[in-house]
Amino acid sequence: MANALRGEASFEAGGRAFRLKYDWNAAAEFEEASGRPLSDALLDVAREKLSAKSLRAMLWAGLQADHPDVTLKETGRLIDQMGRREAQRVMGVALRYFFPELEPEEGKPPDPQAPAAAVAPPAA
> What would the pLDDT profile of 75-94 be if each residue is shown by its tens digit?
999 999 999 999 988 988 88
Is the pLDDT at 114 greater than 70? The verdict is no
Helix, strand, coil % (nearest 5) of the chain? 50, 10, 40
Q: How many folded domains does the chain comprise?
A: 1
In a domain, 120, yes or no: no
- Residue 16 is assigned to a structural domain of this protein: no
Judge whether 43 lies within some domain.
Answer: yes
Share of the chain above pLDDT 90, in %: 47
Establish if 35 belongs to a structural domain: yes
Report yes or no on 115 lying in a domain: no
Query: By the 8 A CB rule, do 19 and 9 touch?
Result: yes
Average confidence (pLDDT) over 12-30: 92
Q: Is residue 109 part of a domain?
A: no
| 59 within domain boundaries | yes
Q: What is the pTM of this model?
A: 0.74
Q: Which amino acid is at 19?
A: R
Which has the higher per-residue pLDDT, 97 or 77?
77
Report helix, strand or coil for 63. helix
The domain containing residue 38 runs over which residues? 22-101
pLDDT (0 to 100) of residue 58: 92
